[in-house]
Structure 1
Amino acid sequence: MHTPVTPQSATSMSSVSDKKIITLMVVLVLFSPLAIDIYLPALPAMAAEFHVPSTMAQDTITWFMFSMGLGQLFAGPLADRYGRRPIALTGIVIYGLSAVLAYFAQAMEMLLLARLLQGFGACATSVAAFASVRDSFGAEKGGRMISYLNGAICFIPALAPILGSYLTHHFGWRSNFSFMAGFALVGFALILTNYKETKPENTVQTGKLISPSRYWSVLKNPTFLFHASLCMLSMGVILAYVTSAPVFLMDQLGLTMNEFTYWFAINAAINIAVCFIAPKFMIKFGTKRVLLSGLTILAISGGLMLGMQHIQQAWAFMVPIFLASVGYASVLGSAAGKALAPFGDRAGTAAALLGLFQMSGAGIIVGTMQRLALPSAQLLTLMMWFLIPGLLILLTKTGQRWHSETVTQ
C-alpha cells in the first residue's frame, strides 16, 4: 500500500537527510584540524628528541598546510570528474598510512615527508566535504552550512590538545600519530557505509583533468578572488597562533602542558560559539555586515596584541587571541560561502582553489614571516593587520559589488 508523502513528512525526511549529510561532512573535515591540534602540546618534545630548532617542529604544521592546499588543485578536478565519494575514501587511506609513517619516523626529515603526504590525504577529504555541501544545499544555504561545519571543526581545537597532552605525557609524542591512524580507520568505515555520491549531473568534466583554463575560469571571478584572499589571510592569523602559542607559552613563559591546554580550550570554545552564532547573524543582518564586523574586530585585535606585548603573562597574549577568534570565525563563515557561490557547476574546482588559498597561501605567508624571527606578539599583529586592506576594499562600491554578486555560472 502506497503511503502519500505529506508536506510535513517530506520536510521531516529532508531534515533527517540534511542532518546525515552534515554529520558525514563533519567527519570528513575533522581530519585536517585533528592532524594539527592533537600534537600541539608535543611540539617542544619533538624538537628536543630530534635536536632541532623549534621552527623545524613548527614546520610539521606549515608543511602539512602547504601540501593540503596544493593537493586540492588535483583533488578538486578529480572530485568533479570521478565524484566526491571515491576522492574522500582515497584521501582517508593516504591520511592513515601517512600517520603510520610519522609514527615510525626516526629523523625530522622523515617526519616532514610524512606530514607532506598526510596533507595530500587531508585535502581530498576537505574538498569532498565542501563540494558536497555546495552540491546539497546550494549557494546561499551552503554558505551558512559551511559556517556550521567550521563550528564543528572548532570542537577539535578544544578537545584534541587535551587528548594530545594525555597521550604525550603517558605514551610519548608518537602516540598522537597512532591516534590519527585509528581515526582514519573509523572514518573510512563510516564514509564507506553511509556516504552517497552528491556530484550533480551537470558538473563540468570535459577536456583535460588539470588545465589552466579550468582554474582560470574560477580565478578570473573577482567575487571568488576577493573572498578567497580574505579566507587565506584570516586562516594565516589562526595558523600563526597555533604554531607560535606552544613555543611562546610553554618555552618562554614556562606554562605546563595542562596550563597551555586550558588556554587553548577556552579559545576553541569561543570559536565554537561564534561559528554557530554567525549563520544566525548572517540571516538577520546579511553577510556583508558580518564580514565587516569580523574584519574590524581583527584590526582591533592586532592593536591590542601590539599594545600588550610588554606584559609577559599568558592572559595578555590570549585576550587579543580570544577577540581575534571572534573576527576570524565571522570572516571565514561569511567569506567562504561567498567565494563558492558563483560555481554551482564546478564546485569541486572552486572548493579546491579556495583550499589552496586558505592552506598553502596561509602556510607560505606564515612560514615566511616566522623566518623573520619576530616576537610572537608582533608576528600575530602583522598577520591581523594584513586584513585591513580587505576591510577598506569592502567599504568601496567595487568591494560591495564583488560581495553582492552570487550569480551561478
Structure 2
Amino acid sequence: MQKFLFLLLSMVLLGPLGIDLYLPAIPAIALGLQSSEAVIQSSISLFILVMGLGQLVAGPLVDKFGRRPIAIIGIVVYLAGAIIAATSVAPWMFLFSRVVQGLAVCCTSVVIFSGVRDRMSGNDAARAYGFLNGTLNIIPALAPLIGGLIAQYYGWRAPFWALAGYTVAVMLLVIFKLPETRPADTQTNSGLPFRQYARILSDSRFITFAAVNAGAMGMALTYVSLAPTVLMNVAGLTPLEFSIVFGANGFWIMAVSFIANRIIRKVGRPACLKTGGILMFAGCLGLVAGITLMPAAEQTATWLYMLPVASACAGLAFLMGPATSYALEPFSSEAGVASALVGSVQMAGGALLGFIAMALPLQPKLSVALVMLAGGCLAMLARRASKKSTGQLTRLEN
C-alpha cells in the first residue's frame, strides 16, 4: 500500500508545482512577455479557479472510464501546458497554459482521492489523505527557492522545462505502475450528473465535512496571499529571510501531519477534528492578542505572526484527512463524483472565504485571524456531526 500512496503522491505534487515553482520568476515573466506583473499574477487565481471547477467534469469521467486512463490523459495534458508556458511569446499564451494545466490537475486530483477511497476507508483513509495533504507542504517550502534559482541562472522559461521533465517521469511511473482501482459496482453517467451533484451536496454529512476542508484551504490561501505583505513590507524581512521563514512553516506542517497521521488510529478521527479546531482558535487568539496587547513598536515582530500561523497550520494537518474521509465514506459506489465535489468545495469555498476576508477593511493579521476563526468553528461543527456517524470501516484488502 505504501508504494501505491507514493505513486499517488507523485501526481499530487503536480498541483502545487504548477503554482509555486514560478512564483519568484513572475517579474521576469512579465518583462519577457512585455506584460504587467498583475496580469501574470492573475494566472495563479486562474489556475486555482479552473482546478476547482474542472473537477466537476473530471469526476464523472473518472467513474465512467476508470482511474488509470484519466490519470494518463491528465498528465499528458499537463505536459502540454508546461511546454506551452515554456514557449510562450505573449501574455495570452501564458495564461492559456495555466488553463491547460489547471484542467490537467482536475483529472489527477480526482484520480488521487478516488484511488484512496477505492482502496481504504475509515481511519486508514484519513491517514492516507492526511499523508498526501501533509507532504504537499514541502512544495511551498522548497519550490519557490528552487524555481527562483533555476530562473536566475537559466531564465524564466527554465522552471517550466524542469516541470516538463518531472511530468515525463510521473507519466512513465503511472503508465507502468498505476493499477486500475475502480470498483465493479461504480455508478456511471452519460453526461454531467447534475442530479447526482445536487443529491450529494444536499447530504448534510457531506457538506459539513467538506466545509472543514474549505475552511482549512481558506486559512492557507489567506496566509499565503498576505504573508509577503506582513513579513516583508511590515516586518521588513528580505526576500531570502522571507523564503527561509515561509519554508520553515512548510516543514512544520509536514512534521505535524506526520504526527497526526500516526495518532489517528489511536485517538480516532473525532479527537483529531477537535484538536484541529482548538489549534485554529489558538492561532486566531494569538493574532488578536498580538495586535491588542503588544506595544505598537513590537507588533511587527516576525514571531508574533508566525507562531499563531504555525498553530493554525498544525490544526490544518489534523483536520483535512479526517474530514475528507468522513465526507467520502458513504459514497463508495460513486467515489469519483463525490471526490470531485470535495475538491470543488475545498478550492472554491476556500478561495471565496479568503477573498471575503481580504476584501474586508481589516489589517492583514485580522483578515487571517478571521479565517482561522471560521475554520475553527467549521471544525467544531464537524466534530459534533462525527458523533452521529455509526460504525467504523476498516481498510479494504486488495
TM score, norm. by length of structure 2: 0.88
Q: Structure 1 pair 245/25, CA: closer, same or farther in 2 (3 Å)?
A: same
The alpha-carbon deviation at position 284 of structure 1 amounts to 1.4
| Separation in structure 2 between the aligned mates of residue 361 and residue 395 of structure 1, nearest angstrom | 19
Within 5 Å, give how 1:211-360 maps onto structure 2. Answer: 211-251=193-233, 253-309=235-291, 311-360=299-348
Greater displacement, 19-28 / 106-115: 106-115
Instruction: Tell me the equivalent position of 1:61.
Output: 44
| Separation in structure 1 between the aligned mates of residue 147 and residue 235 of structure 2, nearest angstrom | 20
The alpha-carbon deviation at position 214 of structure 1 amounts to 1.8
| Separation in structure 2 between the aligned mates of residue 257 and residue 404 of structure 1, nearest angstrom | 50
Of residues 112, 125, 141, the one that matches 2:108 is 125
Greater displacement, 124-133 / 104-113: 104-113
Within 5 Å, give how 1:53-202 maps onto structure 2. Answer: 57-202=40-185
Q: What code does the residue aligned with 1:364 have?
A: L
SS of the counterpart of 1:197?
A: coil
| Separation in structure 1 between the aligned mates of residue 388 and residue 52 of structure 2, nearest angstrom | 24
Q: How many residues align?
A: 387
Q: What code does the residue aligned with 1:167 have?
A: I
The alpha-carbon deviation at position 42 of structure 1 amounts to 3.5
Is 2:59–2:110's contact at 8 Å kept on the other side of the alignment? yes
| Structure 1 ranges of 4+ moved more than 6 A | 405-408
Q: What code does the residue aligned with 1:270 have?
A: W
Q: Structure 1 pair 85/244, CA: closer, same or farther in 2 (3 Å)?
A: same
Greater displacement, 307-316 / 234-243: 307-316
Cα-Cα RMSD: 2.5
Q: Gapped runs of 5+ residues in structure 1?
A: 1-17
Instruction: Tell me the equivalent position of 1:40.
Output: 23
The alpha-carbon deviation at position 281 of structure 1 amounts to 2.1
Q: What code does the residue aligned with 2:266 have?
A: K
Q: What code does the residue aligned with 2:146 have?
A: L
The alpha-carbon deviation at position 132 of structure 1 amounts to 0.7
| Separation in structure 1 between the aligned mates of residue 193 and residue 232 of structure 2, nearest angstrom | 46
Q: What code does the residue aligned with 2:364 have?
A: S
Is 1:232–1:362's contact at 8 Å kept on the other side of the alignment? yes
Q: Gapped runs of 5+ residues in structure 2?
A: none
Is 2:279–2:315's contact at 8 Å kept on the other side of the alignment? yes
Q: Structure 1 pair 407/286, CA: closer, same or farther in 2 (3 Å)?
A: closer
SS of the counterpart of 1:255?
A: coil
The alpha-carbon deviation at position 125 of structure 1 amounts to 0.8
% of aligned pairs identical?
A: 34
| Separation in structure 1 between the aligned mates of residue 265 and residue 36 of structure 2, nearest angstrom | 49
